[in-house]
Amino acid sequence: MTSSTTAAKPEALNFSDPQDLLLALQDLRHTVDQEGQATFEAWRSHIQRPEFLPSALNLAQYLALRRHDLRFLQAKLMPWGLSSLGRIEARVMPNLDAVIATLAVICGADPAAQNRPPIESFFEGNHLLRQNTEVLFGPASPSRRVRIMVTLPTQAATDDALVREMLRRGANCVRINCAHDTPATWQAMIAQVRRAEQDTGHRCKVMMDLGGPKIRTGPVFAPTGKARLFRGDSMVLWRQAPLPNPPSLAQAGESPPGEPIQTSCTVPEILDLLTVGTPVYIDDGKLRTQVIDTHYPVATGPEGILLQVTHARPKGVKLRPEKGLNFPNTVLPLSPLTEKDLQDLDFVALHADIVGYSFVQTAADIERLQQELPGIYSRSMYNRFPVPDGGYRWAHFPATTMS
């Protein structure tokens, strides 16, 4: 379908006339349907669970809708008492069809002839969302809609009162970080959770977060009196741990006067992929930087990557060793599954309700995890992976969720 809205800018149309508004909405619906269907077909081969198909199609349609600037159209719908399309996530086509049907009746069309979605199916998307959330995290508390996830410390393996109090205070899910402790400790933690469930009467899901590649900062060296990084400051990432001269400074964790704060990356080959302007996030994004020089020279060590801080707390951020490094716009030459993760999966598959999986870049990474999970468990477990901050992984995020 082609209408006058395709050739003309929305501002040029007479939206005080409901007929023009109807034509614009019909044109939008047609575009969203075509673009959404094309995206859905690209995903279809990756979708292993048939029950995901309706939600996948709705997500594809939502992404197609959000490619369009709806602000002008939304403002014109409101005076007619119609939905502004602001809460459309769970029902893209039913919502568009409902608004179009009502607007057509305003324009004089026969109400019985309109393609209005049935009332019972209009909220089907919301129902699926509630249902899937309950399967994943358990039922919500009567007093709140959100769920609470708590990361268990090592202490939870031996402190039954601590775990019991977590459940009493509303924890719906506990997280075990597989980068720390041992299977014996994890087993003790889970046993404490199960006992606390019996004591409190509250069901609690267990998520086990695979450690993944350790992409972290190395030893940190700072000039005397320069302990924190602020927006606009510079710092250096070395391809190997820096060794300032003289050695006494290295022992004190200091770098020569006048040089930036410096550290290294535990996976140095990643640094060869960086270009000027590439973002680098440190410590879960508490410190955000971008590359301003990929061959920064220093007499006391090899060339490094010079970064400029683009985001930090007003009081600054103290750079510390063993903090995570994230490269959101960079395709990392790494598998999200390490040899340790593969060993841990045997335990995780037996004891966890949810598996946490970081450093996911494409749908192939999800498929690899599903292949590695032992037989029956790959069909009964749920994957959880962090929402990316942007760049390459964000562009692939919708397709990744389809697996």
Q: What's the pLDDT band for 397 if we cut at 50, 70, 90? A: low
Q: What's the pLDDT band for 243 if we cut at 50, 70, 90? A: low
pLDDT at 402: 59
The pTM of this model reads 0.75
Average pLDDT, the chain: 85
pLDDT at 1: 37
pLDDT at residue 380 tops 80 = no
Q: What's the pLDDT band for 246 if we cut at 50, 70, 90? A: very low
pLDDT at 14: 60
More confident site: 360 or 352: 352
pLDDT at 299: 54
For 124-174, the pLDDT digits (tens) are 888 988 888 898 888 888 888 899 999 999 999 999 999 999 999 999 999
pLDDT at 106: 93
Q: Which two tokens stand for residue 131?
A: 């249902």
What is the domain class of 228-326 according to CATH? mainly beta
pLDDT at residue 10 tops 60 = no
pLDDT at 258: 66
pLDDT at residue 347 tops 90 = yes
pLDDT at residue 199 tops 90 = yes
CATH number of 146-212+335-400: 3.20.20.60
Angstrom CA distances, 218 to 118, 324, 326, 331, 335, stand at 59, 10, 14, 22, 21
pLDDT over 90 percentage in the chain: 50
Q: What's the pLDDT band for 207 if we cut at 50, 70, 90? A: very high
Cβ proximity of 332 and 270 under 8 Å:
yes
pLDDT at 388: 45
In SS3 terms, the chain reads as CCCHHHHCCHHHCCCCCHHHHHHHHHHHHHHHHHHHHHHHHHHHCCCCCHHHHHHHHHHHHHHHHHCCCCHHHHHHHHHHCCCCCCCCCCCHHHHHHHHHHHHHHHCCCCHHHCCCCCHHHHCHHHHHHHHHHHHHHCCCCCCCCCCCEEECCHHHHCCHHHHHHHHHCCCCEEEEECCCCCHHHHHHHHHHHHHHHHHHCCCCEEEEECCCCCCEECCCEECCCCCEECCCCEEEEECCCCCCCCHHHHHHCECCCCCCEEEEECCHHHHHHCCCCCEEEECCCCEEEEEEEEEEEECCEEEEEEEEEEECCCCCEECCCCCEEECCCCCCCCCCCCHHHHHHHHHHHHHCCEEECCCCCCHHHHHHHHHHCCCCHHHHCEEECCCCCCHHHHHCHHHHCCC
Q: What's the pLDDT band for 93 if we cut at 50, 70, 90? A: very high
pLDDT at residue 318 tops 80 = yes
For the segment 41-52, the average pLDDT, to the nearest whole number, is 85
Across 122-126, 298-302, 368-372, least confident range: 298-302
Q: What's the pLDDT band for 2 if we cut at 50, 70, 90? A: very low
For the segment 325-338, the average pLDDT, to the nearest whole number, is 89
pLDDT at residue 4 tops 60 = no
Each domain of the chain, given as residue ranges in start order, spans 4-132, 146-212+335-400, 228-326
